[in-house]
Structure 1
Amino acid sequence: MPSPEPSSVLRSPKLWIGSGLIVAVVSILFALLYVGGNVNPKGNLRDLPIALVNSDRGADANGKHLNLGDQVVSGIEKSAADNHSFSWQVVSRQEADKRLGQGKVYGALVVPENFSATVAGLGSPKPAEATRPTLTVLTNQSAGSIGSSMASQANQKAAHAASAQLGKELLNRAAAQKAQLAPAAKLMLTDPVNVEVADGHPLGTHSAMGLSAFYYALVLIVCGMLGANAIVSQVDTALGYLHTDFGPFRQRMPVRRTSRVRTLAVGTVLMLGLSLVMGSLVELATVGILGMDASHLGLLWLYSVGTIAAVGVSALALLAVFGTPGMLISTIVFVAMAVPSSGATVPLEALPGFFHGLSEFEPLRQITGGMRSILYYDAQGDAGLTRAWISMGIAFVAAVLFGFGVTRFYDRKGLHRIPPTAEATEATATATAPATA
């Protein structure tokens, strides 16, 4: 009697419900996290740091000593009193260059030494022949292109506002002196200050306009995650827990009973060893083949290997503790929550509060900060490298303690990956199966 046809697997409600829940969680989380962190940067902008430099030495005019640089600074601070989007930091030129070179400010507005003297020259009988004073806006793409652009716009707006105010004062002074100004001179006095934009911390042409550190860090994260998934698959195949398909051919190794702790230990050793390979190949591909601007190549290699190892061991711990759902958890932790809170594209000061909180512990923010220090800031510890190393070490130790602690608990409770009864049943079925010719 012919056996009945098995029912289609598509009729299984569990298949539809299980798959639907997984894709629903992934879809909603990625949409909320990715778009939510970047949808309104200007509306969320709070205290974006900008350096304000007053190098003006002042000048004597009409028997008085004037320092119009102080006037510019006080005017900006007064206008910013009710605007919390930007944090103007009044510093010296040397300190401004230092903060630009550490990524601690997104730009700077510089009042030159001869500002007052040059403005005073505009009050001469022939102001059209005088030299226009200059305010310099410094950008800092190394701190993030969007943040640098926001700072540049704020600096230019403040500089033009200062120019308009000075122009009003110069015109009033000329009117009080009953000076006859030519139309060209009057037009120049209306907006007397020339605003120049310059790069405050120049980068090389192969630095992705300040984004190479973010992309490099993201590559390291992905290598650690995918490397962990590949290692788990290979270890399970070698232990006989999984089979391997090569086209139409299937291979399955004999089952080798191993504790969960030992299985995780094998994967961890593999991860540490292969991190050397992956870190070397990433640097070879990006610096050697693509020509990415980079210095401190030895430190870059060590940082790359350490990052991949820390991320990979963390992903292995999640897979060992949670099993298949560990892959989804890794994706959420290392990608979905990490990218929008990294501060690499949208600055941290322009993120909603939730994402700003995530940035305090999410790995991509720390890794990107350390990578910026190596690639852009001469590997200065204060520029993010020290924080990155400490965060990486804490993450590695926490992952090892969590992974081995929980798997040891599973082993002590007898929660083996293949229960002894199931293994005995499988062995009996194999021994009693009829031989086929």
Structure 2
Amino acid sequence: MTVEFRNSLKIARDFGRHPGTWFPPLFVMLILAMALPAVYLGGTLDPIGSLRGLPVAMVVEPQTASGIGAADQVSAAITQGVDHEAIELISMTAEQEREQMDGGKIFGAVRVPADFDAEIARLASGAPGPATHAVIHLDTNPAAATMSTGLFTGYLAPVVAAVNAGLGAELPQNAPTAAATTALAKPFSVATAPLTPLPAHTGSGTSVFYYAVVLVLLGFVGASVIHPVVDSASGFQPTEFGPKVRRRGYTHLSRLHMLVVKWCVALIAAPLSAGLIQLLATKTLHMPVASPWQLYLFSASTIAAVALGALTIFAIFGSLAPLLNMFFFVAMAMTSSAGTIPVEATPAFFRVIAKFEPMRPIVAGLRSILYFHSTALSGLHRAWIHVVIGGLLAVVVGVLITGLYDRKPSFTRQPVLVTE
């Protein structure tokens, strides 16, 4: 063993033992080990228990038979049986139901059809005819959120079943025949189906969420690539490709000028990236898009806004920026986005951060474009406002903070040797 090797081994050993080498990354890993499951699992493990104010319609169509009152009786019993803290049951007409469904404003509807009283009266009279029952419809809205159908039916189906049993215990008392008594033991059946089925190649309602994930990740990861590559081009840090290390001569730029250069790269990349994503999704994967230009413009603006924000965070926080960006744009944004689980079915923390997390309006805008025909009620205008404000806010904050940094000579980015 040569003296040079022993010296290098001692240096490596001393470096590895120094707390400044191992403690910071270990501390960060332990924090992530607690924070990530708290964010992802804590927000999704108990959607039924977290349910608060899920908007659901109660629709009683005008009845073709009069004097029975069974439709109103069932509606009142369902309304009484629902936990109004978990479910916001809204009375509306069938026309209003369709309008609210097509705007993504309600997650389902309990609909009592127009022939309900007539069918109950026919069963109660024991009149001859085919053995059919009255029907209560649970109209689902799979476009509203991936888990909305399961949450809606999982909560409302037991309530409707209990009403069916209660009505079945009451009606046979006045039945004229044994056959009528048997038929009225369960006076109605329940039909569950989407009011407006989703087309093919939409991933059963998941395409919106995953398209949003692609856009956000491209903006966030793109910024994570642009930041070090531009720094390397300026000579601020070396470029490393495998065993090769390249160090360019340092080009002194202020923090603000460097940030503007990175912003420009992101703004050039955003529309090109959005076009490639949409081309692959529509032409290769056959995802249906009713408004291609709206989707393209919204996607390009989303990538640009996320990249501007992530680059601003890099410029302000430096080495802490990857963690902050990951939590803000990905970790906390996923659960609060309403892409898979309605925000109403998440814990209170996620309902609060959903008001400013960027992925929520991105999902809403994409859902409007891809599923709801870009109607005003579906929230596309509000989504555009959030995206534009987010991008402008990133630029304003970036200019102000980096401008303040540039005023202090000790905050210069010119590489200097740090000695202890």
1:220 and 2:215 matched: yes
CA contact (8 A) 1:160 1:193 kept: no
Match of 1:418, SS?
Answer: coil
Query: What residue identity is the alignment partner of 1:120?
Result: A
Which residue number corresponds to residue 76 of structure 2?
A: 74
The whole-number CA distance in structure 2 between the counterparts of 1:396 and 1:137 is 41
Q: Is the 8 A contact 2:55 2:90 kept in 1?
A: yes
Q: Which amino acid aligns with 1:164?
A: A
Task: Classify the secondary structure of the residue corresponding to 1:205.
Answer: coil
User: CA shift at 1:383, angstroms?
Assistant: 1.0
What letter matches 1:288 in structure 2?
Answer: K
Structure 1 residue 105 displacement after superposition: 0.9
Distance 1:88 1:76 in 2: 10
Q: Does residue 283 of structure 2 align to residue 282 of structure 1?
A: no
Counterpart CA distance in 1 for 2:249 and 2:408 is: 25
Partner of 1:394: 389
1:12 matched residue in structure 2: 18
8 Å CA contact 2:53–2:84 kept in 1: the answer is: no
Q: Which deviations, in whole Å up to 9, do the C-alpha atoms of 1:252-271 show, x marking residues without a partner?
A: 22111111111001000111
CA offset digits 1:76-97 (Å, max 9, x no partner): 12223x5422111110000001
Question: Residues of 2 paired with 1:257 and 1:283: CA distance?
Answer: 39
Q: 1:181 to 1:245 in 2, by over 3 A?
A: same
Correspondence for 2:150: 149
1:416 maps to what in 2? 412
Aligned residue type for 2:205: G
1:410 to partner: Cα distance: 1.1
The list of structure 1 runs, each at least 4 consecutive aligned residues, that deviate by more than 3 angstroms after superposition, is: 1-4, 125-131
Aligned residues: 411
Which amino acid letter does the alignment assign opposite residue 298 of structure 2?
Y
Give the equivalent residue in structure 2 for 1:261.
256
The answer (yes or no) to whether the contact 2:147–2:340 under 8 Å persists in 1 is yes
One-letter identity of the residue aligned with 2:227: V
Aligned partners of 1:299 and 1:129: how far apart in 2?
51
Please give the secondary structure, in 1, of the residue aligned with 2:29.
helix
TM-score where L is the length of structure 1: 0.89
Partner in structure 1 of residue 110 of structure 2:
109
Q: Is the 8 A contact 1:321 1:407 kept in 2?
A: yes
Q: CA deviation at 1:325?
A: 0.9
Partner amino acid, structure 1, of 2:19: P
Match of 1:429 in 2: none
Query: Are positions 1:200 and 2:165 aligned together?
Result: no
Q: Pairwise mapping of residues 241-252 of structure 1 onto structure 2 (< 5 A)? A: 241-252=236-247
- Contact conserved, 2:124 with 2:184, CA < 8 A, in 1? no
Q: CA deviation at 1:381?
A: 2.8
In 2, the alpha carbon distance for the partners of 1:342 and 1:94 equals: 29
Is the counterpart of residue 23 in structure 1 residue 22 in structure 2? no
Q: Distance in 2 between matches of 1:67 and 1:90?
A: 17
Aligned-pair CA distance for 1:164: 2.5
2: distance between equivalents of 1:316 and 1:84? 41
TM-score (norm 2): 0.93
AA aligned opposite 2:412: H
- Between the aligned partners of 2:174 and 2:62, the Cα distance in structure 1 is 21
* SS of the residue 2:335 aligns to: coil
For 2:252 and 2:70, how far apart are their aligned partners in 1? Answer: 81
Question: Which whole-Å CA distance do the structure 1 matches of 2:243 and 2:158 have between them?
Answer: 67
Structure 2 residue aligned with 1:338: 333
Question: What is the alpha-carbon distance in structure 1 between the residues aligned to residue 71 and residue 300 of structure 2?
Answer: 49
Q: Displacement, 1:201? A: 2.1
Indicate the larger mover: 328-337 or 242-251.
242-251
Tell me, in whole angstroms, the C-alpha distance in 1 between the residues paired with 2:394 and 2:413.
Answer: 21
| Post-superposition CA distance 1:67-117 (Å, at most 9, x none) | 32111111112223x542211111000000111111111111111112111
Are the equivalent residues in 2 in contact too, given 1:242–1:252 (CA < 8 A)? yes
- C-alpha distance in structure 1 between counterparts of 2:65 and 2:309, whole Å: 62
> CA RMSD of the aligned region, Å?
2.0
Supply the AA of the counterpart residue of 1:72: V
- Report whether the alignment pairs 1:98 with 2:83: no
1:158 maps to 159
Residue identity in the other structure for 1:124: S
- Quick one: structure 1 residues 411 and 254, their matched pair in 2 at CA, closer, same or farther if it must change by over 3 Å? same
**What amino acid sits opposite 2:208 in the alignment?**
A
Specify the code of the residue in structure 2 equivalent to 1:417. Answer: R
The answer to whether 1:51 aligns with 2:52 is no
Given candidates 367, 372, 391, the residue that maps to 1:372 is 367
The aligned residue for residue 268 of structure 2 is 273
Residue-by-residue CA offset, 1:363-397 (whole Å, 9 max, x unaligned):
11111111100110001232121221111111111
Contact 1:57 1:67 in 2 (8 A): no
**Aligned-residue offset at 1:58:** 5.2
Structure 2 unaligned runs (5+)? none
| SS of equivalent to 2:57 | strand
Deviations 1:310-365, CA, capped at 9 Å, x for gaps:
00000000001111211111001011111111122221111111111010110111
Structure 1: gaps (5+ residues): 426-437
Instruction: Measure how far apart 1:149 and its partner are.
Output: 1.3
User: 1:181 pairs with 168, 178, 183, which one?
Assistant: 178
* In 2: Cα distance, 1:237 partner to 1:130 partner: 78
Paired residue type of 1:200: L
Among candidates 334, 345, 349, match of residue 344 of structure 2: 349
